[in-house]
A and B are shown apart, each in its own frame.
Chain A
Amino acid sequence: MPERMISCAVAICEALTEEMARDEAIFIIGEDLVAHGGIFGQFKGLPERFPGRVIDSPISESCIVGAGLGAALTGMRPLVDMHFADFVTCAMDEIVNQTAKIRYMFGGQVKVPLVIWAPDGAGLSAAAHHSQSLESWFIHAPGLKVVVPSEPADVKGLLKAAIRDDDPVIFFQHKKLFAREGPVPEGEHIVPLGKAAVKRPGGSVTILTYGSGFYMSMEAANELAGMGIEAEVIDLRTLKPLDFETIADSIKKTNRAVVVHEACLSGGFGAEVSARINSELFDYLDAPVLRVAAKDVPIPFSPRLENFVLPKVEDVIKAVRQVTYR
Chain B
Amino acid sequence: MTSRIDNKRCLKMYEQMLTIRRFEEKAIELFEHNLIRGNIHPCIGQEAVSVGACTPLRRDDFMVNTHRGHGNCIAKGADLKRMMAELFGKSTGYCKGKGGSMHIADFEGGNLGANGIVGGGLPIAAGAGVGIQNRGTDQVAVCFFGDGATNQGTFHESLNLAALWKLPVIFVCENNLYGLSTPVREAVSADHISDRAMAYGIPGMSIDGNDIIAVHTKMVEAVERARAGEGPTLLDCITYRFFGHFTGDPGKGITYRSKEEMGQWLERCPIKRFRERLIKEKRITEKMAKTMEANVTASIEEAVQFAKESPLPLPEEALQDLFH
Contacts and interface: CB of A to CB of B under 8 A. Distances in A.
**Is chain B found bound to chain A in the same assembly?**
yes
Given A59-B149, A60-B152, A127-B103, A302 B98 contact: yes
A302 B179 contact: no
B315 A127 contact: no
Given A31-B180, A59-B119, A59-B179, A305 B99 contact: no
Contact of A59 (B118, B313, B319): B118
Interface string B96-125: 011111110000000000011111100000
Nearest to B89: A302
Contact of A127 (B116, B119, B186): B116
B90 interface: yes
Nearest to B39: A126
A234 to B, nearest CB: 30
A301 interface: yes
A63 B119 CA distance: 14
Given A60-B152, A125-B38, A295-B319, A36 B117 contact: no
Contacts of A124: 38
Given A304-B313, A305-B315, A127 B117 contact: no
A165 to B, nearest CB: 29
B179 A35 contact: no
B148 interface: yes
Contact of B98 (A32, A36, A301): A301
Nearest to A56: B182
B227 to A, nearest CB: 32
B2 interface: no
Contacts of A126: 38-39
A300 B318 contact: yes
A208 interface: no
A125 B37 contact: yes
A58 B148 contact: yes
A300 B98 contact: yes
B318 A127 contact: no
A130 B153 contact: no
A89 B38 contact: no
Contact of B181 (A32, A89, A300): A32
A301 B103 contact: yes
A141 interface: no
Contacts of A56: 181-182, 186
B255 interface: yes
B302 interface: no
B299 interface: no
A309 B99 contact: no
A87 interface: yes
A324 interface: no
Contact of B116 (A128, A297, A309): A128
B322 interface: yes
Nearest to B253: A35
A129 interface: yes
Given A128-B99, A300-B98, A302-B89, A60 B115 contact: no
B186 A305 contact: no
Contact of A86 (B97, B116, B319): B116
A225 interface: no
Interface in B51-108: 86, 89-90, 93, 95, 97-103
A62 B119 CA distance: 12
B37 A303 contact: yes
Contacts of A87: 117
A126 B102 CA distance: 8
Interface string A124-166: 1111111000000000000000000000000000000000000
Contacts of A35: 181-182, 255-256
B316 interface: yes
A21 interface: no
A306 B98 CA distance: 9
Interface string A305-320: 1111100000000000
A90 interface: yes
Interface centre among B117, B149, B255 (most CB of A within 10 A): B117
B97 A301 contact: yes
A304 B181 contact: no
Interface in A164-194: none
B97 A300 contact: yes
A231 B93 CA distance: 43
Interface in B123-155: 148-149, 151-153
B164 interface: no
Given A31-B182, A59-B148, A305-B315, A86 B117 contact: yes
A58 B146 CA distance: 12
A62 to B, nearest CB: 6
B190 to A, nearest CB: 12
B89 A129 contact: no
A270 to B, nearest CB: 19
B117 A89 contact: yes
A302 B88 CA distance: 7
Contacts of A36: 180-181, 255-256
Nearest to B86: A301
B315 A304 contact: yes
Nearest to B153: A62
A57 B187 CA distance: 7
Given A61-B152, A87-B117, 10 more contacts: A36-B181, A58-B187, A59-B187, A128-B99, A129-B120, A130-B102, A300-B98, A301-B95, A301-B97, A308-B316
The 5 closest A-B pairs by CB, nearest first: A129-B116, A301-B100, A302-B89, A302-B97, A125-B38
21 contacts: A32-B181, A35-B181, A35-B256, A58-B148, A58-B182, A59-B148, A59-B152, A86-B116, A86-B117, A124-B38, A125-B37, A125-B89, A128-B116, A129-B115, A129-B117, A129-B120, A130-B116, A301-B37, A301-B103, A302-B93, A305-B318
